[in-house]
Structure formats: structure tokens, C-alpha cells
């Protein structure tokens, strides 16, 4: 069994990841469901949490984890009364931290693409990787349409 506390510990936050996370505005689930895909990409909510103060607490806890470093165990302790399902709690943490890091890595890649114009795909190797995500070290130019549509993470669970 994977130790999520270790596997998703945020030990070295970086500015681009923080910016990627904070760029998304907090909205209710009802508002989120009414938005276009473009607006959803600029917004943040959490499924099955309806009280605005609880949504905000989860957002603030994730923002602190990305900005200051944090572990899944710390997130779990802060949100256990709101996110009562262990599966849901883990998904919320993993989805948001990896999305922030993915957004941060995208910005870093774009800033250095003149000297590093390629990306190499590697999976986590944790046994949960779908067969179509095992790209075996595939190398592609950063400007390729596949890279833009399949920047990690590109699917969940």
C-alpha cells in the first residue's frame, strides 16, 4: 500500500505552482456546474461540499500546503470533519497539489523552451497508472499539440 503522506508530501514549493493554484477563484459547486469549460479552468471548487466556509477552509489548507510545504497527513487532520470519506479526501489533496505542480512545471517549461524545447513523459510507477498513460519515456517538442492536451496530470483516478 502506498504511503500517501510520503508520496504526496509537498517538500519544496515553488513560485509557479503557488501562482497556478492561486490563479483559480473559489466558487460554489452549483456555480462551477453552470460554467463553460474555459471558465471552469479558471475556477476552483470541491465536490460534495456545499457550505461556503468549508469550501474556503479546504482551499486555504491546500494553498498553504502548496505555498509552505505540507503533507497529506496534515491536510487530512485539517479537513477530516468536512471530507469524511478517506477516498474523497485523498482525491481532493492529490488532484489539487498535482494540478498546481503541473501548472508550475508548465510555466517553467515555457520559460526555458528556447534552450530545452522537449518534454519527456514518465509515469509515477505506483501501480495505478492506466495502460494508455504508460508512455515509456516518450519525448516530444513542447509546442506539439499532444503535449498541450496531455500535460501532466491530464486525467484523474
Give the residue extent of every domain in the chain. 4-111, 116-152
Chain position carrying cell 502506498: 2
User: Tell me: the pLDDT tens digits for 124-134?
Assistant: 777 777 777 77
48: confidence class by pLDDT, cuts 50, 70, 90: very high
Query: Which set of grid coordinates corresponds to residue 55?
Result: 469550501
Report pTM.
0.80
CA 21 to CA 23: how far, in whole Å?
6
3: confidence class by pLDDT, cuts 50, 70, 90: low
137: confidence class by pLDDT, cuts 50, 70, 90: confident
Amino acid at each position: 500500500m502506498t504511503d500517501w503522506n510520503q508520496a504526496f508530501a509537498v517538500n519544496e514549493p515553488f513560485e509557479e505552482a503557488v501562482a497556478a493554484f492561486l490563479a483559480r477563484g473559489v466558487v460554489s459547486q452549483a456555480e462551477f456546474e453552470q460554467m463553460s469549460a474555459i471558465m471552469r479552468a479558471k475556477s476552483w471548487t470541491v465536490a460534495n461540499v456545499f457550505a461556503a466556509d468549508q469550501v474556503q477552509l479546504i482551499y486555504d489548507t491546500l494553498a498553504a500546503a502548496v505555498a509552505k510545504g505540507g503533507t497529506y497527513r496534515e491536510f487530512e487532520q485539517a479537513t477530516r470533519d468536512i471530507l469524511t470519506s478517506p477516498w474523497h479526501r485523498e482525491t481532493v489533496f492529490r488532484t489539487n497539489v498535482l494540478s498546481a505542480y503541473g501548472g508550475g512545471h508548465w510555466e517553467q517549461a515555457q520559460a526555458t523552451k528556447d534552450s530545452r524545447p522537449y518534454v519527456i513523459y514518465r509515469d509515477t510507477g505506483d501501480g495505478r497508472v492506466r495502460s494508455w498513460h504508460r508512455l515509456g519515456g516518450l519525448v516530444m517538442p513542447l509546442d506539439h499539440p499532444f503535449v498541450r492536451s496531455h500535460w501532466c496530470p491530464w486525467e484523474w483516478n
